[in-house]
Amino acid sequence: MKIAIGYELVFECPKPTPMILTLSVHYTRVSDMIIPDHMVADPPVPIRAYRDRFGNWCSRIVAPAGRLKLSTDALVNDTGLADVVVPEARQTPVEALPDDTLEFLLGSRYCETDLLSDTAWRLFEQTTPGWPRVQAICDLVHNHIRFGYEHADATKSAWSVWNDGIGVCRDYAHLAIAFCRCMNIPARYCTGYLGDIGMPPPYGPMDFAGWFEAYLDGEWYTFDARNNTPRIGRVLLARGRDAADVALSNAFGANELKNFLVRTDEVPDS
């Protein structure tokens, strides 16, 4: 299938403001791009790109004083298949984990393993290690948190959402990631496009989505504690330890986000 993706962000800045933007499709999907997701700035500004230490494609700009619109419209090929489910995937002992997975066992800005470790072991010690354990974590997190866009809070952490029981997709991911790490399963945060392809209506407002990947049996597998069901049409933007590593925008000065739109739709075959 083909999926049309895009965004429109409008910023208002009182003076020229440097920004880092993580809005480009991940390099693992570049070969799927039919129409590339080039960032368009209005008014035009120089855009310089680089890869961060996680391999994410980031853009550097200096937003001018006043209004700046950033947008893209792209088209991507997709298999049309739902997320892979491998119930037999085993948990790898810590001593056998590859070196590059180890940082995804550690606590991070939004995933406080030190505060949640005792709770995690109390809840999940009796679960079967491997895929069943990660799925048990997703089941609990899915049922524990009440979703609502009004609960979005850029400072909310896994510890906070565990205590509050409310949040948005990134909060589901952060809590599940923290519990996985507490149980010695490497887990990393993902952000990207995820539409309602294959899902029944009604449909909510479109936004970028947050999910996570867990390392089992030598592979990274997709899990989604918010939806807690295999989904079709994920288009990855970025991966990191948590949302702090993959923020859509980091501005180094005063700014206001005046408008925010995300598009992701299946394109019918002509």
For the chain, 270 residues long, give each residue's pLDDT as a single digit of tens. 999 999 999 999 999 999 999 999 999 999 999 999 999 999 999 999 999 999 999 999 999 999 999 999 999 999 999 999 999 999 999 999 999 999 999 999 999 999 999 999 999 999 999 999 999 999 999 999 999 888 889 899 999 999 999 999 999 999 999 999 999 999 999 999 999 998 887 777 788 999 999 999 999 999 999 999 999 999 999 999 999 999 999 999 999 999 999 999 999 876
Task: Say yes or no: 43 and 7 in one domain.
Answer: yes
Task: Say yes or no: 125 and 182 in one domain.
Answer: yes
Task: Say yes or no: 15 and 53 in one domain.
Answer: yes
Task: Say yes or no: 254 and 200 in one domain.
Answer: no
The string of pLDDT tens digits covering residues 2-17 is 999 999 999 999 999 9
Q: How many domains does the chain have?
A: 2
- For residue 270, the model assigns a pLDDT of 66
Task: Say yes or no: 209 and 120 in one domain.
Answer: yes
Task: Say yes or no: 119 and 7 in one domain.
Answer: no
Task: Say yes or no: 229 and 253 in one domain.
Answer: no
Share of the chain above pLDDT 70, in %: 100
The string of pLDDT tens digits covering residues 190-218 is 999 999 998 887 777 788 999 999 999 99
- For residue 91, the model assigns a pLDDT of 98
Q: What is the DSSP string of the chain?
A: -EEEEEEEEEEEESS-EEEEE--SPPGGGGGGEEE----EEES----EEEE-TTS-EEEEEEEPSEEEEEEEEEEEE---PBPP--TTPPPPPGGGS-GGGGGGGS-BTTB-HHHHHHHHHHHHTTSPTTHHHHHHHHHHHHHHPEE-GGG--TT--HHHHHHH-EE-HHHHHHHHHHHHHHTT--EEEEEEE---TT-PSP------EEEEEEEETTEEEEE-TTT-S--B--EEEEEESSGGGG-SEEESS--EEEEEEEEEEEEPP-
Tell me if 119 is assigned to some domain: yes
CATH code for the domain in which residue 170 is found: 3.10.620.30
Task: Say yes or no: 125 and 227 in one domain.
Answer: yes
CATH code for the domain in which residue 256 is found: 2.60.40.2250
Provide the domain limits for residue 109.
Answer: 94-245
